[in-house]
Amino acid sequence: MARGTLRIYLGAAPGVGKTFTMLEEGRRRAERGADVVIGVVETHGRVETAAQIRDLEIVPRTHLTYRDTDFEEMDLAAVLARRPEVALVDELAHTNVPGSPHAKRWQDVEALLDAGIEVISTVNVQHLESVNDVVATITGVPQRETVPDAVVRAADQVELIDMAPEALRRRMAHGNIYPADTIDAALGNYFRVGNLTALRELALLWTADNVDEALRRYRDEHDITGVWEARERVVVAVTGGPEGDTLIRRAARIAARSRSGDLLAVHISRSDGLTAADPARLEKQRELVESLGGTFHAVVGDDVPAALLDFARGADATQLVLGTSRRPRWQRALSEGIGSRVTAKSGPIDVHMVTHSEARGWRRLPELTGGLTTRRRVLGFALALVGLPLLTLVLKLVEGHLDLSSELLLYLGFVVAVALVGGGYPAVFAAAAGTLLMNWFFTPPVRTFTIAEFDNIVALGVFVLVALSVAAVVDLSARRRREASRAQAEAEMLSALSRGVLAGGRALPALLEQVRDAFGQDSVALRERVDGRWEVVDTIGDPAGPGGAEIPVTESLQLVLRGRRLAASDRRVLTAFAAQAAVALRQTRLTARAAEAAELAEGNRMRTALLAAVSHDLRTPLASIKAAISALRMTTVALEPDDVDELHATIDESADQLAALIDNLLDMSRLQTGAVNPLRRSVGLDEVVPRAVADGAGVGGPTITVDVPETLPAVLADPGLLERALANLVSNAVRHGAGAPVVVRGSALGNRVELRIVDTGPGVAVEDRDRIFAPFQRLGDRPAGNGVGLGLAVARGFVEAVGGTLEPEDTPGGGLTMVVSLEVAR
């Protein structure tokens, strides 16, 4: 059986028209003769959306009971039994009620597709798993219902239903999305222009990435390797050299000529790691690329031109920016450079060779020495000084038994030995001395520096060249070995450094301490230029000590070391530490700003919730009081005594609601600002529990049974705060206990006393138990009901303030039990 196809309508926010378009498509299919049914559709009371259903067949939903509440879900079995050609399934990210065949609706859709049924569905961008946290940051509203991106990307067709933020807000204002009593709150919160614009951008970018992925998949399936210029992509190759900034800015200007152009910077590293670029400069170039809206990539490859072209083709690059060679002219004359090889093999990719100030002519040749230690070079000279006379003496003793070529080979072998021991300079000395000795003692005419035969000149010349070549190879090998050893040590050091920075916490002080220990310094400090003056950001040791070095990090940051003199090779590694110091400083400051932002966001959320409380929960009792007083003041209607009593009771009850609400708001404000100062003393529970039960019970509520033995020991608490906490817990149990009796039970356990407030209502799911203690949080986030969701938050805050704990438990047989644990007074 062929698998069904999936079509998804993606939207940036509720109300853009996803469900409307889905139903419209379903009707078009039905009019063309397809067998179309509605598996589930959520109109949310929108008249225009409901009108689109018309004569489409609707599969009846199944009814499920969960926690004594009835729910409706799509009847998957019924849809499978009906076996339509096309099924319309709304809200792909929906979470099914426990007891359903699957936990998520997208899993129901997978079952329909496996049965060969074509499915048309809808989803909003905020429900995509990959952007869920981003949406929560933008809107301040976390989305608990998500769908894996892979499910949506696997759809045969994803169509974006787009609408400008202003148009969507007009739809909201006209009452086409939400009920009239929620329009103002929605427009001022989730449906702000900034939020909608950001969500729209997320939806557009996600769709564009999905289209790009589909294009890549199509090209792979059809073995298309050429570059398709669907979008201008400019790749710039950076080596970590000083010309990198020039190349990046030039590439950014090229990409900016196309509004949708992408900028990609790539650095090719050799696998041996011996030609690593300056890490500090590379980090600055990475920051420059990202500041220009591009992305930075690092690729390992021994064949730089091939690796560069492979990356460019893999990224569908249309243009490639390279810098002109920094090699000297004599090297360019001997071999073509990277730019020439890339240009020759680039194919349809345009290659830009950009000149820069670092492209100079002749350079000084590298030094011959540097790979071996001074001790080995001294041993090499000593071997040459002692060994050459001895070898000459031995050859004179056997003179006549060996020809000139054999003598040259013996001298050459000795020079190679000197090269192996002492490297370049001793080998050059041995070659020169050996040449003179050969010429004087063994090359006719002897005892003169004149060479009579041309063959002997060639032999001596080859001897000198071979000796020098071997010396250079030995020295290079030794240098590479030392570089490899140092690179390994540096890699281990930098790996530890990266782990420290990634670990966060005290990243910067730990980094500075590591620098001090690794390089044997007395002190290390990070300084920042502020208003033209250098100020110490952080330091390990005394930054005013003698000697030292200053390693620039950025124009406004520098690493200052005090202690022993640093070698040039140490400075190269220090630039990496300096770059990481800047990262650690930025991380520390970003963490601090994030904490401040979180605090501000929490304050904003509290203010928003407070405004919601004022607009709804304060208005309700005030409206009751006003209506009752207006009725009492009416002179045109004669009220019966019972009616008057009822109106008085309404005023009294509404005033109590207002008082309780204001008390909770004030208490929460005290908790948030840290203004709660408990006066802990020995308190008997018989002093607190009866008053708390009386305050929390209200009028006309269910029966409350108090089972607190008089033999329980006194507890250590503030009686006022404990009473308020218990009153809130009792009030919560009464409100949510479904009218069933509430029990307050006390018991002793070791050096703790536990009070249990037990109800037999619907209870709370385990995953929601932490959430119910959040300020302004009501179970299910429903606007119905009394209070603003502060009771449990205040209760936990007060219990913890007096040194106790408050935890929820399941009531045996159903319901919720709040357990208050307090320390026994000694």
**736, 757 in Cβ contact below 8 A?**
no
What is the chain's percent helix, strand, coil content, to nearest 5? Answer: 50, 15, 30
Q: Give which of 345, 416, 408 is closest to 380, Cα–Cα.
A: 416
Q: What is the pLDDT of residue 780?
A: 46
According to DSSP, the β-strands at 118-124 and 6-11 are parallel
Among the ranges 116-130, 374-388, 398-412, which has the highest mean pLDDT value?
116-130
Task: Tell me how crowded residue 26 is: count the other CB atoms within 10 A of its CB.
Answer: 24
Q: Give which of 211, 814, 817 is closest to 806, Cα–Cα.
A: 817
Distances (CA, A) of 267 to 299, 309, 547, 554, 708: 6, 12, 36, 21, 73
504 has pLDDT over 70:
no
**83, 114 in Cβ contact below 8 A?**
no
Q: What is the pLDDT of residue 754?
A: 92
- Range from 301-310, 577-586, 777-786 carrying the lowest mean pLDDT: 777-786
Q: Give which of 722, 691, 685, 716 is closest to 797, Cα–Cα.
A: 722
Work out the average pLDDT over 118-122.
95
Higher pLDDT, 570 or 15: 15
Q: Give which of 157, 156, 173 is closest to 165, Cα–Cα.
A: 173
* Alpha-carbon torsion angle 656, 658, 664, 667, nearest 10: -100
* Spatial distance between the Cα atoms of 473 and 778, rounded to a whole number of angstroms: 78
**53, 40 in Cβ contact below 8 A?**
no
Q: What is the pLDDT of residue 464?
A: 73
Q: What is the pLDDT of residue 606?
A: 54
185 has pLDDT over 80:
no
Q: What is the pLDDT of residue 260?
A: 63
Q: What is the pLDDT of residues 204-214, one digit of tens each?
A: 888 887 776 77
* Spatial distance between the Cα atoms of 169 and 497, rounded to a whole number of angstroms: 50
- Range from 89-93, 180-184, 536-540 carrying the lowest mean pLDDT: 180-184
What's the mean per-residue pLDDT of the chain?
79
Per-residue pLDDT band for 662 (boundaries 50, 70, 90) equals confident
With 0-12 / 13-18 / 19 or more C-beta atoms within 10 angstroms meaning exposed / middle / buried, residue 759 is buried
Q: Give which of 525, 504, 513, 527 is closest to 591, Cα–Cα.
A: 504
Per-residue pLDDT band for 80 (boundaries 50, 70, 90) equals very high
Distances (CA, A) of 447 to 400, 439, 463: 16, 8, 20
Angle among Cα 451, 456, 458 to the nearest 5 degrees reads: 115
**773, 800 in Cβ contact below 8 A?**
no
Phi, psi of 755 (to 5 degrees): -110, 130
60 has pLDDT over 90:
yes
Per-residue pLDDT band for 105 (boundaries 50, 70, 90) equals very high
Q: What is the pLDDT of residue 585?
A: 83
Q: What is the pLDDT of residue 284?
A: 84
Among the ranges 111-120, 324-333, 420-429, 669-678, which has the highest mean pLDDT value?
111-120
* Spatial distance between the Cα atoms of 115 and 109, rounded to a whole number of angstroms: 10
273 has pLDDT over 60:
no
Per-residue pLDDT band for 372 (boundaries 50, 70, 90) equals low
Q: What is the pLDDT of residue 672?
A: 56
Q: What is the pLDDT of residue 783?
A: 40
Per-residue pLDDT band for 365 (boundaries 50, 70, 90) equals very low
> Which H or E run includes 559?
strand 557-563
CB proximity list for 776: less than 8 A, separation 6 or greater? 605, 606, 609, 610, 612, 613, 788, 789, 790, 793
- What's the residue count for the chain? 826
Q: Give which of 4, 38, 45 is closest to 22, Cα–Cα.
A: 38
**Greatest CA separation found in the chain?**
152
Question: Does the CA dihedral 505-509-512-513 come out positive or negative?
Answer: negative
Residue in the block written with tokens 């938050």: 793
Cα of 663 vs its chain's centroid, Å: 41
* Spatial distance between the Cα atoms of 285 and 289, rounded to a whole number of angstroms: 6
Q: Give which of 61, 57, 60, 1 is closest to 29, Cα–Cα.
A: 57
Higher pLDDT, 143 or 78: 78
Preceding amide of 713 cis, omega within 30: no
Q: What is the pLDDT of residue 363?
A: 41
* Spatial distance between the Cα atoms of 793 and 809, rounded to a whole number of angstroms: 16
Q: What is the pLDDT of residues 677-700, one digit of tens each?
A: 778 889 998 888 988 888 777 656
Phi, psi of 536 (to 5 degrees): -75, 120
**392, 277 in Cβ contact below 8 A?**
no
Distances (CA, A) of 308 to 215, 294, 320: 22, 17, 9
Work out the average pLDDT over 713-733.
87
Q: What is the pLDDT of residue 456?
A: 64
Buried b (16+ CB within 10 A) or exposed e, 173-198: eeeebbeeeebebbeeebbbeebbeb
Kindly state the tokens that stand for 612: 């919601």
CB proximity list for 77: less than 8 A, separation 6 or greater? 62, 101
Helix, strand, or coil (residue 312): helix
Helix, strand, or coil (residue 436): helix
Residue in the block written with tokens 């590298």: 366
Task: Tell me how crowded residue 766 is: count the other CB atoms within 10 A of its CB.
Answer: 9
Work out the average pLDDT over 183-193.
78
345 has pLDDT over 80:
yes
Work out the average pLDDT over 790-817.
85
* Spatial distance between the Cα atoms of 688 and 724, rounded to a whole number of angstroms: 9
pTM of the model: 0.39
Phi, psi of 666 (to 5 degrees): -65, -40
Following DSSP, what letter does each residue of 257-275 receive, concatenated?
TSTT-EEEEEEEE-TT-TT
* Spatial distance between the Cα atoms of 56 and 36, rounded to a whole number of angstroms: 7
Higher pLDDT, 327 or 331: 327
- Range from 101-115, 140-154, 210-224, 233-247 carrying the lowest mean pLDDT: 210-224
Q: What is the pLDDT of residue 362?
A: 39
* Spatial distance between the Cα atoms of 14 and 562, rounded to a whole number of angstroms: 61
Per-residue pLDDT band for 123 (boundaries 50, 70, 90) equals very high
Task: Tell me how crowded residue 333 is: count the other CB atoms within 10 A of its CB.
Answer: 9
Q: What is the pLDDT of residue 702?
A: 81
Q: What is the pLDDT of residues 259-270, one digit of tens each?
A: 567 889 998 877
* Spatial distance between the Cα atoms of 360 and 707, rounded to a whole number of angstroms: 93
Question: What are the start-end ranges of the H helices in 674-741?
Answer: 685-697, 719-736
* Spatial distance between the Cα atoms of 202 and 715, rounded to a whole number of angstroms: 55
Angle among Cα 695, 700, 706 to the nearest 5 degrees reads: 50
Higher pLDDT, 658 or 117: 117
> Which H or E run includes 791?
helix 791-801
Cα of 276 vs its chain's centroid, Å: 28
Work out the average pLDDT over 308-328.
81
Q: What is the CA radius of gyration of the chain?
A: 41
**73, 50 in Cβ contact below 8 A?**
no
